[in-house]
Amino acid sequence: MTAVLDEIDGTEPAELATLASWGARAAALGIDVLFGVALIATLALLAWTAPLMGWLWWAYVVVAVLAGLAMMVNRWVLPTITGWTVGRAVTGIRVLRTVSASLRSPGSDGAAVGTGRLLARDIAHLLDTAAVFLGWLWPLWDRRHRTFADLLLRTEVHRVGEPRRDVRRPVAIGVVAATLLCAVGTAAGYLMVYRQDRALETARAEIAAQGARIVEQILSYAPDTAKDDFARAQSLASDIYRPQLIQQQEALQKAPLVSNEYWAVNGVVLEQPALTTNTASMLLAMQGQRGSDPNAMRFITATVRADFVKSGDQWQVQNLSVLTKPHTGGGQ
């Protein structure tokens, strides 16, 4: 009995002294998992905002997949080759399979863990998380510093000392690289997606506010101010549409001019063709009146499609198509 007590008193505290602390395990997990998860989560959110199957979307997806593969190799393959993951190498700890003291070789803390058990252990960590993270805190109370996953897979984490090669510098470089990738990905998302979306919204707001008024000014004129009205209309037409507009104005001047006034009662920015930062199309319902004599005045209705192009800071009409020809009603 005395011999047994001596064995327990002499061996058990020595074993417990080699168990990894909770802080060392948390630091290793942060290096191995949290930085990679942060990178993948950032890239996933950016890919969700990028045009589907576009080059930027593919760039985000490829980098995220490579980061995921690197994490899996580090967690499940590298320990079977070198004995450590990157994070555990920094903190000098190792996952070992629990072996009965009677079966251990002298100087050994436990058996090496294979890829299958490492994979199963990480899956079992879902239980640690599902229990409101209680499983991750369990080593603070457990005598052998085990999580729920360790209890299920019969593993322990021991302090074994750092590898001979200094891994802190490469790890620091890797952390900085992951941070830079997040920053570069975010910057690319802003420049290629968010800023472009904002520019499109600005263009939509501008044409919705200005488009109807531009068409009204092109179609409206009065005999007394025809020269100024026509010049104003020409300034609102693009280089492509202006010759056609001038030809129409010259044809009008061959006959006695009568007042022609239009105003838009409804309008919508069309989705097809797609809106860009310098091109847009609108469908407009127009009403108006023709003539100056109240007794001979006629009321007009028409539906037109206007294509716009932006020249500098000014929107101009690129083409004006009458979808429903002007309908004139008799004077009141």
Nearest to 108 by CA among 117, 120, 96, 119: 96
Rounded CA-CA distance 209/203 in Å is: 10
* Tokens 């200094």, residue located: 166
* pTM for this entry: 0.65
Enumerate domains of the chain plus CATH numbers. Answer: 2-165 (no CATH), 202-329 (3.10.450.50)
The pLDDT value recorded for residue 166 is 80
The pLDDT value recorded for residue 330 is 53
The pLDDT value recorded for residue 329 is 59
CB atoms under 10 Å from CB of 151, counted, come to 17
The pLDDT value recorded for residue 18 is 85
The pLDDT value recorded for residue 1 is 34
Rounded CA-CA distance 320/304 in Å is: 7
User: In this structure, is the dihedral angle defined by the CA atoms of residues 41, 46, 49 and 54, taken in order, positive or negative?
Assistant: negative
User: What DSSP assignment string belongs to 278-323?
Assistant: SEEEEEEEEEEEE-S-TTT-EEEEEEEEEEEEEETTEEEEEEEEEE
Nearest to 327 by CA among 285, 294, 281, 292: 285
Check residue 53 and give left, alpha or beta (phi > 0: left; psi -120 to 50: alpha): left
3-state secondary structure of 129: helix
Contact 49, 189 (CB under 8 A): yes
Contact 209, 318 (CB under 8 A): no
The pLDDT value recorded for residue 137 is 92
Q: What is the pLDDT tens value at each position of the chain, 332 positions in all?
A: 333 333 334 445 545 558 999 999 999 999 999 989 999 999 999 999 888 888 889 999 999 999 999 999 999 999 999 888 999 999 999 999 886 555 455 444 567 889 999 999 999 999 889 888 899 999 999 999 999 999 999 999 999 887 878 888 888 888 899 889 989 998 988 888 888 889 999 999 999 999 999 999 999 999 989 999 999 999 999 999 999 999 999 998 888 888 889 999 999 999 988 999 999 999 999 998 888 777 777 888 889 999 999 998 899 999 999 887 766 655 44
In the DSSP assignment, the letter for residue 330 is P
Q: What is the pLDDT of residues 149-208, one digit of tens each?
A: 999 999 999 998 878 788 888 888 888 998 899 899 989 888 888 888 899 999 999 999
The pLDDT value recorded for residue 11 is 42
Contact 237, 259 (CB under 8 A): no
Pairing of strands 93-97, 111-112: antiparallel
Residues listed for the chain: 332
What strands lie across the sheet with 111-112, from one edge to the other? 111-112, 93-97, 155-159
Distance of CA 317 to the CA centre of its chain: 35
Q: What is the pLDDT of residues 273-283, one digit of tens each?
A: 899 999 999 99
Contact 245, 218 (CB under 8 A): yes
